[in-house]
C-alpha cells in the first residue's frame, strides 16, 4: 500500500463506511466510495483493494436480505454478466493507470446520465423483462464491475425497472453482487489487482464496512431518498470529472 497522509486515510475511512452503507442502504453511495478510492490510491490497484471489502459488504447484505432474492431473474442474467466480466478483464489487462482513471471516470459519468434518463422516463417493467434488455444490462454490468466495481447503479436501474418490491430489490441485489464479486476474484488475482498487501488492508478495514452496513439498515427508512440520491449524483459527478481531467 502507498504511503498516505491523515487526510487521505480519512477519505478512505469515509469511503469504507459508504461501501457498507451502499450494501444495506442506498446503492448509489457505492459509486462515491469507488470514486474516492480511485482518487486516493493508484487507480488500477484501487479496484483490487476495494473488491475484498465489497465482498464483506455483500456478505452483510446477504445475511440481512437472503430470503428475498428473485432467482429466475438472476439465473437469466448471470451468463451475460460473466461475458462482460471477461471482456472487462481483457481491457484492464492492457490499459495503464492513467487510462484506467479515464475509464472509471467515463463509466461513472455514463451512470449519472443513465440515472437522470431513468428518472425522466420512469420505470418500465415490460422493457426490463425483454431478453435483449436483460442481456445488454448483464454485459454492461459485468464489464463495469470488472473495470471499475461500478455496476451497482446499473443493476439498480434494471431491478427498479423490473418492478421488484423493496425487499425483493435488496435481496436480489445482495445475491447478485456476492456471486459476481466472488466470480471476479480469480481474474483480479491473475491481473495483479488483488495482492497480499490489498488483502491485509481489507482485513484491517473490514470493520468499517460492517459498521456502514449496520448504519445502512438502521437509517434507511429515515432518509429522504430523493435528496440523498441528488447529493450522491453530485458527488459522483465531481469525482468522475476529477478522474477524467
Q: How many helices (H) and strands (E) does the chain have?
A: 11, 0
Percent of the chain residues past pLDDT 70, beyond the cut: 83
Spans of all domains in the chain? 6-244
In angstroms, the CA 76 to CA 83 distance is: 13
pLDDT for 214-229, tens place per residue?
Answer: 888 787 777 666 776 6
Q: What is the mean pLDDT of the chain?
A: 82
Give the residue with greater pLDDT, 146 vs 3: 146
**CA distances to 84, 172, 217 from 24, in Å:** 25, 12, 6
Residue closest to 244 by CA, chosen among 38, 91, 95, 106: 106
pLDDT for 60-82, tens place per residue?
Answer: 889 888 888 889 989 999 999 99
Amino acid at each position: 500500500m502507498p504511503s498516505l497522509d491523515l487526510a487521505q486515510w480519512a477519505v478512505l475511512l469515509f469511503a469504507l463506511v459508504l461501501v457498507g452503507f451502499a450494501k444495506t442502504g442506498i446503492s448509489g453511495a457505492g459509486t462515491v466510495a469507488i470514486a474516492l478510492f480511485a482518487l486516493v490510491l493508484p487507480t488500477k490497484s484501487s479496484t483490487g483493494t476495494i473488491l475484498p471489502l465489497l465482498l464483506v459488504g455483500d456478505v452483510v447484505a446477504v445475511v440481512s436480505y437472503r430470503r428475498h432474492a428473485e432467482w429466475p431473474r438472476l439465473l437469466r442474467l448471470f451468463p451475460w454478466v460473466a461475458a462482460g466480466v471477461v471482456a472487462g478483464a481483457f481491457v484492464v489487462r492492457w490499459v495503464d493507470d492513467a487510462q484506467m482513471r479515464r475509464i472509471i471516470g467515463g463509466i461513472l459519468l455514463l451512470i449519472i446520465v443513465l440515472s437522470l434518463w431513468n428518472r425522466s422516463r420512469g420505470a418500465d417493467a415490460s422493457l426490463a423483462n425483454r431478453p435483449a434488455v436483460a442481456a445488454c444490462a448483464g454485459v454492461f454490468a459485468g464489464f463495469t464491475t470488472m473495470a471499475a466495481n461500478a455496476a451497482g447503479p446499473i443493476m439498480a436501474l434494471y431491478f427498479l425497472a423490473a418492478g421488484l418490491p423493496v425487499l425483493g430489490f435488496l435481496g436480489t441485489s445482495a445475491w447478485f453482487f456476492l456471486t459476481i464479486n466472488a466470480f471476479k476474484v480469480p481474474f483480479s488475482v491473475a491481473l495483479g489487482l488483488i495482492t497480499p498487501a490489498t488483502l491485509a488492508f481489507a482485513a484491517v478495514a473490514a470493520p468499517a464496512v460492517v459498521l456502514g452496513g449496520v448504519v445502512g439498515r438502521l437509517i434507511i427508512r429515515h432518509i429522504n431518498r430523493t435528496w440523498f440520491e441528488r447529493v450522491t449524483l453530485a458527488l459522483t459527478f465531481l469525482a468522475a470529472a476529477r478522474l477524467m481531467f
